[in-house]
C-alpha cells in the first residue's frame, strides 16, 4: 500500500484542509505514515501569513528537494496560501514539485491523481477523523474580500467562496456518526458566509441547521469580522442550545486613525457598541480578540487608546502580535515601518502584563464552581478539554473520560487555564 505524509504549517484552516486531504488519500488506497522519509507521497500544506512563515515554507521545499533526489519515485504535492494564482511561475521556480493546487481546490488534486491513472470515480470521500479527539474543524468559507492593509491572505486565498449549506450539513452529520461531538466552523471571515450562494443563507441559518443534528453537543465558529457580525447572528448564538458562548472578535487597535490605516472598516465606538450588544444578549459569553502593536506611525498616544480599550473591555483572551511588514500588502507599499522593534516589544509586553492580570481576575470566579468539559485527551496524567465558553481545563479522577462530557469542580486557576477534580 503506498504511504503518504502530510506536512501542515499554519492555522486551523490548514489543519482542517489537511484532514480532508488525508480522508481523500485514505479513500483511494493510501496509508498515512509517521515520517516524511517513509512516504511515497508528501503533501506540504503551507502558510505565508508572515514573511517568516513563507521562509519556513521555502526551507521545507529545499529539504524535500534533497529527499526527492535520493528517492526519484517520491511524489511531492504543495497546497495552502503559498499557492497563489500564478501556478505556472511556481512550477518554473520549483520543478521538483509534482502538483500545486490552490487551498480548498480539491478538484485540482483529484485531477492530478486521475492524470496519474489513479481512478477516483465513484469513490466517496469519507470525512474520517484520524485522531481520538471528539472535536473537528469544518471550513465553511474560503478566501477574504476585506483587504486589511497589513494582510496577505486575500492575495493568496483569493475572494470569498462559501461552501453550499447542504454540503456542510452532510459533512457534519458524517463526522457526528464517527463520534465527533464538537465542530468548529472555519473561515477567514465566517460572518460573510453565504452571500455568494444562490439562496444567500447566512451563518445564523447554517448554525440553525447544524443545531438540529442529533448527537452533536457543541458548535463553534471563527473568525468573526466586527463590521459583519449581525444582530441576527447574536440572536442565534443566544438561542441555539448547542452553539457555544464564545466569540473571537479581533479589534486590532483601539485608535480610530490606526483602524483607518489598517482598513478595518469600523470605528472604536462601533466595536464598543457591538461588544455591549453581544454581552447584553449572552451574559455568560467569553470574548477573545487580536491586537497588532507597532503598526506604521502608531504613536504612544494611539497605543494608549488600545491599552485603555483593553482595560475597559476586559477580554478573556488577547492574542498580541508585533507588526512586521508583509511584502505584497497595502501597508508594505504605502507606509514606512516607523516604530522601532524596541518600542514594539515594550508595547507587546505592556499588553501581555495587563492581560495576565485581567485573565487571572476573570478566571478566579470559577474557583469552587462546577463546569462542563468536553475531554479532548490526556496529558501528563491529567484530562484536558474545554468548557462551552472555551476555558481550558485540566482535571484528575474519573475512569476513561476521553471524548466525554464531564463535570469538573475547579480547585485552581491561572490566567491560561483552570484545574480541578472530575465529579461526574
Ligand atoms: S479580514 Fe482582514 S485580516 Fe482577516 S483575512 Fe481578511 S484581510 Fe486578512
Q: Give the domain ranges of the chain.
A: 3-115, 130-244, 277-364, 370-422
Ligand 1 midpoint to CA 247 (Å): 17
- 123 pLDDT higher than 60: no
The pLDDT of residue 108:
87
Q: Do 130-244 and 277-364 fold alike per CATH?
A: yes
Ligand 1 atom having least distance to the Cα of 157: 5
Ligand 1 midpoint to CA 356 (Å): 26
What is the three-state SS of the chain? Answer: CCEEEEEECCCHHHHHHHHHHHHHHHHCCCEECCCHHHCCEEEEEECCCCHHHHHHHHHHHHHHHHHHHHCCCCEEEEEECCCCCCHHHHHHHCCCCCEECCCCCHHHHHHHHHHCCCCCCCCCCCCCCCCCCCEEEEEEEECCCCCCCCCCHHHHHCCCEECCHHHHHHHHHHHHHCCCCEEEEEECCHHHCCCCCCCCCCHHHHHHHHHCCCCCCEEEEECCCCCCCCHHHHHHHHHCCCECCEEECCCECCCHHHHHHHCCCCCHHHHHHHHHHHHHHCCCCEEEEEEEECCCCCCHHHHHHHHHHHHHHCCCEEEEEECCCCCCCHHHHHCCCCCCHHHHHHHHHHHHHHHHHHHHHHHHCCCCCEEEEEEEEEECCEEEEECCCCCEEEEECCCCCCCCEEEEEEEEECCCCEEEEECC
pLDDT band at 26 (very low <50, low <70, confident <90, very high): confident
* Nine-digit cell string for 72: 526519484
Ligand 1 midpoint to CA 147 (Å): 6
- Please give the CATH number for the structural domain made up of 370-422: 2.40.50.140
* Nine-digit cell string for 265: 472598516
**Cα–Cα–Cα angle for 152, 11, 340, nearest 5°?**
55
The pLDDT of residue 128:
54
Share of the chain above pLDDT 90, in %: 78
The pLDDT of residue 377:
93
Ligand 1 atom having least distance to the Cα of 252: 3
- Min mean pLDDT across 14-28, 34-48, 177-191, 408-422 is at 14-28
pLDDT band at 121 (very low <50, low <70, confident <90, very high): low
* Nine-digit cell string for 391: 476555558
- The CATH H-level (homologous superfamily) assignment of domain 3-115 is Methylthiotransferase, N-terminal domain (3.40.50.12160)
Ligand 1 midpoint to CA 24 (Å): 29
Q: Is 216 in the pocket of ligand 1 (CB under 6 A)?
A: no
pLDDT band at 132 (very low <50, low <70, confident <90, very high): low
- 127 pLDDT higher than 70: no
Would you state the torsion angle of the CA atoms of residues 132, 134, 135, 136, taken in this order, to the nearest 10 degrees? 70
Residue appearing with cell numbers 519556513 = 56
Ligand 1 midpoint to CA 3 (Å): 36
The pLDDT of residue 118:
76
- 336 pLDDT higher than 90: yes
Distance between CA atoms of residues 83 and 48, nearest Å? 10
Ligand 1 midpoint to CA 83 (Å): 18
Span 242-251, average pLDDT: 97
Query: In the CATH hierarchy, which fold is given to the domain comprising 277-364?
Result: Transcription Regulator spoIIAA (3.30.750)
CB count, 10 Å around CB of 298?
A: 24
Span 152-174, average pLDDT: 93
pTM: 0.89
Ligand 1 atom having least distance to the Cα of 147: 7
Q: What is the pLDDT of residues 169-212, one digit of tens each?
A: 999 999 999 999 999 999 999 999 999 999 999 999 999 999 99
Q: Is 329 in the pocket of ligand 1 (CB under 6 A)?
A: no
Ligand 1 atom having least distance to the Cα of 154: 7
The pLDDT of residue 314:
98
Q: Is 225 in the pocket of ligand 1 (CB under 6 A)?
A: yes
The pLDDT of residue 103:
86
Ligand 1 midpoint to CA 327 (Å): 15
- Min mean pLDDT across 46-50, 256-260, 410-414 is at 46-50
Ligand 1 atom having least distance to the Cα of 264: 2
Query: In the CATH hierarchy, which fold is given to the domain comprising 130-244?
Result: Transcription Regulator spoIIAA (3.30.750)
Ligand 1 midpoint to CA 263 (Å): 10
The pLDDT of residue 53:
87
- 225 pLDDT higher than 70: yes
- Min mean pLDDT across 49-58, 318-327, 332-341 is at 49-58
> Atom 8, ligand 1: which residue's CA is nearest?
151
Q: Is 188 in the pocket of ligand 1 (CB under 6 A)?
A: yes
Average per-residue pLDDT in the chain?
93
Exposed (0-12), middle (13-18) or buried (19+): which is 265, by Cβ within 10 Å? middle
3-8 and 41-46: which strand pairing?
Answer: parallel
Q: Is 151 in the pocket of ligand 1 (CB under 6 A)?
A: yes
- 110 pLDDT higher than 90: no
- 352 pLDDT higher than 90: yes
CB count, 10 Å around CB of 324?
A: 15
Distance between CA atoms of residues 181 and 219, nearest Å? 9
* Cα first-last separation, the chain: 44
The pLDDT of residue 24:
87
Amino acid at each position: 500500500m503506498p504511504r503518504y505524509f502530510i506536512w501542515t504549517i499554519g492555522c486551523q484552516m490548514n489543519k482542517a484542509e489537511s484532514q480532508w486531504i488525508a480522508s481523500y488519500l485514505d479513500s483511494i488506497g493510501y496509508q498515512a505514515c509517521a515520517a516524511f522519509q517513509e512516504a511515497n507521497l508528501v503533501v506540504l500544506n503551507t502558510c505565508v501569513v508572515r514573511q517568516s512563515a513563507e521562509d519556513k515554507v521555502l526551507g521545507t521545499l529545499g529539504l524535500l528537494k534533497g529527499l526527492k533526489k535520493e528517492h526519484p519515485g517520491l511524489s511531492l504535492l504543495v497546497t495552502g496560501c503559498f499557492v497563489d494564482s500564478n501556478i505556472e511561475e511556481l512550477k518554473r521556480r520549483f520543478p521538483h514539485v509534482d502538483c500545486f493546487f490552490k487551498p480548498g481546490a480539491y478538484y485540482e488534486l483529484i485531477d492530478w491523481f486521475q492524470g496519474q491513472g489513479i481512478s477516483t470515480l465513484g469513490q466517496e470521500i469519507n470525512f474520517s477523523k484520524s485522531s481520538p479527539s471528539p472535536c473537528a474543524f469544518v471550513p465553511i468559507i474560503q478566501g477574504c474580500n476585506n483587504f486589511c492593509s497589513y494582510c496577505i491572505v486575500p492575495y493568496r486565498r483569493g475572494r470569498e467562496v462559501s461552501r453550499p449549506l447542504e454540503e456542510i450539513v452532510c459533512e457534519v452529520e458524517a463526522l457526528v456518526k464517527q463520534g465527533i461531538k464538537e465542530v468548529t466552523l472555519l473561515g477567514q471571515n465566517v460572518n460573510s458566509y453565504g452571500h455568494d450562494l444562490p439562496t444567500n443563507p447566512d451563518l445564523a441559518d447554517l448554525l440553525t441547521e447544524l443545531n438540529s443534528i442529533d448527537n452533536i453537543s457543541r458548535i463553534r465558529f471563527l473568525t468573526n469580522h466586527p463590521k459583519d457580525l449581525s444582530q441576527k447572528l447574536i440572536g442565534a448564538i443566544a438561542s441555539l442550545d448547542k452553539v457555544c458562548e464564545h466569540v473571537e472578535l479581533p479589534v486590532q487597535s483601539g485608535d480610530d486613525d490606526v483602524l483607518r490605516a489598517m482598513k478595518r472598516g469600523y470605528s472604536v465606538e462601533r466595536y464598543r457598541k457591538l461588544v455591549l450588544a453581544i454581552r447584553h444578549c449572552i451574559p455568560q459569553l467569553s470574548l477573545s480578540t487580536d491586537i497588532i502593536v507597532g503598526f506604521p506611525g502608531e504613536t504612544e498616544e494611539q497605543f494608549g487608546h488600545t491599552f485603555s480599550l483593553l482595560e475597559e473591555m476586559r477580554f478573556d483572551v488577547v492574542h498580541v502580535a508585533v507588526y512586521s511588514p508583509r511584502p505584497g500588502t497595502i501597508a508594505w507599499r504605502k507606509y514606512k515601518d516607523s516604530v522601532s522593534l524596541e518600542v514594539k516589544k515594550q508595547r507587546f509586553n505592556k499588553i501581555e502584563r495587563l492581560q495576565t492580570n485581567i485573565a487571572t481576575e476573570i478566571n478566579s470566579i470559577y474557583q469552587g464552581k462546577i463546569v462542563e468539559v468536553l475531554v479532548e485527551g490526556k496529558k501528563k496524567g491529567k484530562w484536558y478539554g474545554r468548557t462551552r465558553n472555551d476555558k481550558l481545563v485540566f482535571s484528575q479522577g474519573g475512569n476513561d473520560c476521553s471524548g466525554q462530557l464531564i463535570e469538573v469542580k475547579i480547585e485552581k486557576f491561572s490566567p491560561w487555564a483552570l484545574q480541578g477534580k472530575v465529579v461526574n
